[in-house]
Amino acid sequence: MRVELVLACVVFLLQSVVSLRTDRQYWIDLAQNELDEALHTKWNVNTAKNVIIFVGDGMGPNTVTATRIYKGGESHRLVYEKFPHMGLLKTYSADKMVPDSSSTATALFNGVKTNQNTVAVDATVQRRDCARSLKEEARLPSLATHALNAGKAAGFVTTMRVTHATPAPLYAHSADRSWECDGFMPDTVTECKDIARQLIEDEPGRNLNVILGGGRNTLVTPQEPSDNQWNCERRDGRDLIETYKKDKESRNLKYSVVTNNKELNGVNFNETDYLIGIFANSHLSLEYQRDKGPEGMPSISDMTGAAIKVLRRNSKGFFLMVEGGNIDMAHHRGRAKVAIDESAAMEEAVRLAVDMTDEEDTLIIVTSDHTHTLSINGYPNRGSNVFGIAQPSSFDGVNYTTLSYSVGGPETFQFYAETEDNETTVRRREASLDQTDSMNYHQIAAIRDVEGSHGGGDVTIYARGPYAHLFHNVHEQHYVFHAVMHAAQLDKATDSSAQASASAVTVIFLLAIPIKRYLLPNLQ
């Protein structure tokens, strides 16, 4: 036992020495490898049969950097950091410098920037303007809609409620992102459907091949309502999961409904064209707290693998969106390690998607909807714990952590007032008093608010596969929609449909001429 322990220590030390090499040749080799990789990069101009978009909600560049260090050190590269093409996306919305998730998701998936807190409607719709959101000219079709119209399969995976801000623009149109279910809708907007009903009852929602995530209480009226102010819960007595089943049965479609790991693992993917899995009343559990047993809920990788197995049954290809939403949830609460652990879990889902698909015909995109205010501070030594202490402040001598936020909730505001000799001094809590490496630790924030704020910085976009080279510099966020439409030739499918409609109108018009000229006079 002692020998094994000694050997393990030796291996660990050797790995540490290798990872922290600083000799000249190490840096030369590192750069030469990157140069060789760049010189051998070629454009893939095949049509994208399949498209997968990963959205790390709130996964700004600093979150990616911290995830890289967390998983392998400063010189490590995450799987998507090896993709051959990348760029930056400007995330502002139509009316705000710093955006929310519904406006940014609408930009990504629907191709137009819109107002804060609205879903898949253009900027003529102000928040809560139900009447305007019903106008057809204000509604924005999504990539999922275009994929289905082209005969492809489509679906989404999320660690959030399936009615939440990021997936909602794929299938719903709403003047308020909070209208996830009837419980959050004002009595004055009865003509507008809640987002959950649109998912199950309307197009394209009812035709989505994969719906995996949380949010049971937005779909089914709970027997015992919770007191969580953030959770939208049905009050109208509807059971939209039963509605889903009846719809699929009425159309003789092969479908599966699952609620836990055991049921998901038991799906016959050779006989399933439609899959809905709702694994929690609200959002899914954090990855480190997730019940991995038969009655528990799947990981983002588990759901991604299941989604691809269903979607690839369609010979024409598919569109899939995967959201790592708990990255954002953890950042809002100032829990940097949890956010980065969630980011690491999403990277594993990207790795799985890479392994399950072919780069020749599948465009994989990894990006974020917006940043958070996470900073990487001080001058910590290379190889040190990214969740540890950076150094003491030269101003007051109090230690601070490598990671911190500019805006945070009450738990992150670690300042306190100290009065001595009638003089009040604001002091900061000594970081070494806490276990900063704990999942429960809340990084310090300079400004206190209800919760952590989104950031307004650019986010990175990584791409591999057909037309990945279209992501090559600083882009507007809604450019992603248009680039994907081109890569998958969905724009041509749309043009073809428009031309077919125009041709039909022309035929009807031409037929009407002889009918009017010859038949109508004889009938009089």
CATH for 50-373+453-488 is: 3.40.720.10
Name the pLDDT band for 88 (thresholds 50, 70, 90).
Answer: very high
Q: Please write the tens of the pLDDT for every residue from 451-491.
A: 999 999 999 999 999 999 999 999 999 999 999 999 999 98
Asked if the model's pLDDT at residue 10 lies above 90, the reply is no
Q: Look at residue 150 and give its three-state secondary structure.
A: coil
* Arithmetic mean of pLDDT, 93-103: 98
For residue 138, what is the DSSP state?
G
Q: Which residues does residue 476 pair with via DSSP β-bridges, in sequence order?
A: 90
Least confidently predicted of 67-71, 79-83, 353-357, 510-514: 510-514
Rounded to the nearest 5°, which phi and psi values hold at 374? Answer: -65, 135
What lies within 8 Å, CB to CB, of 302 at 6+ separation is: 261, 264
Closest among 349, 469, 473 to 53, alpha carbons compared: 349
Asked if the model's pLDDT at residue 227 lies above 80, the reply is no
What tokens does 187 get? 């009595």
DSSP-assigned states of every residue in 57-111: TT--HHHHHHHHHHHH-TT---GGGGSSEEEEEE---SS-SS--HHHHHHHHHHS
pLDDT for 228 equals 73
Give me the helices (H) in 183-229, please.
195-201, 216-219
pLDDT for 340 equals 98
Asked if the model's pLDDT at residue 298 lies above 90, the reply is yes
Name the pLDDT band for 509 (thresholds 50, 70, 90).
Answer: very low
Asked if the model's pLDDT at residue 9 lies above 60, the reply is no
What lies within 8 Å, CB to CB, of 147 at 6+ separation is: 51, 153, 154, 317, 318, 319, 488, 490
Express as a percent the part of the chain with pLDDT over 70: 90
d(CA 265, CA 406): 42
Cβ atoms of 233 and 225 closer than 8 Å: yes
Residue type (1 letter), 252: N
Asked if the model's pLDDT at residue 156 lies above 60, the reply is yes
Q: Please write the tens of the pLDDT for every residue from 332-369.
A: 999 999 999 999 999 999 999 999 999 999 999 999 99
Q: What is the maximum span of the chain, computed from C-alpha positions, in angstroms?
A: 109
pLDDT for 2 equals 52
* Arithmetic mean of pLDDT, 107-120: 98
Q: Please write the tens of the pLDDT for every residue from 363-413.
A: 999 999 999 999 999 999 999 999 999 999 999 999 999 999 999 999 999
Question: Is 453 annotated as catalytic?
Answer: no
Name the pLDDT band for 497 (thresholds 50, 70, 90).
Answer: low
pLDDT for 523 equals 42
What tokens does 92 get? 């502002």
Among the options 16, 75, 101, 133, which is catalytic? 101
What tokens does 508 get? 């009807």
Least confidently predicted of 172-176, 389-393, 448-452, 511-515: 511-515
pLDDT for 506 equals 45
pLDDT for 422 equals 81
Asked if the model's pLDDT at residue 513 lies above 60, the reply is no
Of the two residues 202 and 503, the one the predictor is more confident about is: 202
Name the pLDDT band for 247 (thresholds 50, 70, 90).
Answer: very high
Q: Please write the tens of the pLDDT for every residue from 25-40.
A: 999 999 999 999 999 9
Cβ atoms of 261 and 296 closer than 8 Å: yes
pLDDT for 225 equals 73
d(CA 286, CA 225): 22
Q: Look at residue 255 and give its three-state secondary structure.
A: strand
Name the pLDDT band for 153 (thresholds 50, 70, 90).
Answer: very high
pLDDT for 419 equals 85
Mean of the per-residue pLDDT values of the chain? 92
Closest among 147, 51, 46 to 362, alpha carbons compared: 51
Asked if the model's pLDDT at residue 500 lies above 80, the reply is no
